[in-house]
Structure 1
Amino acid sequence: MIDVRELGISGMQASEWLRAERHVDIGGSDTCRISASITHADDDETEKTLLDALRALTEGAESIERRPPVHLPEPSALELEQAMLPREAFFAEVDHVPADRAAGRIAAEMISPYPPGVPVIAPGEVITDEVLDYLRSGVDHGVLIPDAADPSVRTLRVVARH
């Protein structure tokens, strides 16, 4: 694994650059790093291609457009309070509210930023400002939110208040 933050770019940007500029697909990326593997099935030419591409990335990183940073909260802030059973929240009467009014509300949807693709909000959990800031900064950075009702995270699907 290579931490690309020292280059001033994200792993996703590094991955995109390597694919577009050097025709190299790496194993994985996230907001901080890229991961590539050389195996016993690879030959010397494959190793050389990867190393040359990584050197070129290091040298060309200054030309890559900078994106706003992702505001990753402390791990404990990602442990949201479970206020309802997930099934109950998912099938409850819902409202679609602006993100700036979603904190304190109970989520009625799953929200999993990709990468890494791990749910940050599950139905039944109480949404917090820290998690909203993380998700919205992630979208601004280029993170995908494939499972949300609104992938831009401008609105969220929450349990309706009675």
Structure 2
Amino acid sequence: MKLKLKFTTDYGQFYINDKNAKGNTSSDNFWSEVAFQDKLAVEDGVLGIGIANDEGIVDCLFEILNSKNLDDNFSKFDHVVEASLKIHSGVLQVLDCPFSEVEMETKIENGDYRIRVYSSNLKSAYDENPKDFYKIEMWKESYKEREVLKRYQD
């Protein structure tokens, strides 16, 4: 499944979550200093994806894969990070912040998934017409801690 998403959000973030997520996006642990630097916050059943532009524009390609993408050439991207997400409800959602409006919802098999977020054009985020772009891949994989595969140096 591959979807093009374009929506607005606030506070430089949006969420990918299990419909019945127990995680608290308001907790001090969610957007910790490390999470902020990594551009990815993690709680039980919810991930916070950090975006760069102040306009709150999310321009994103979201793809659910059958297996992990083995291409580790990240030269086209500014920042690449991944983390795990457990699905309990059988429903995956993409939500805006802070209203949690559903931007995408799909049925999905319960289990552990890995989500990789590729960020590109981050230098343009503060231009009059920001062109930062986010590619998100998701596949079934056992739980692992958050890991930055390429860190943006601004």
TM-score, length basis structure 1: 0.23
From the CA coordinates, give the structure whose radius of gyration is larger: 1
Instruction: Give the number of the structure whose residues are more often helix, by fraction.
Output: 1
Considering Cα pairs closer than 8 Å and 6+ residues apart, tell me whether 1 or 2 has the greater RCO: 2
Instruction: Give the number of the structure whose residues are more often strand, by fraction.
Output: 2
TM-score, length basis structure 2: 0.24
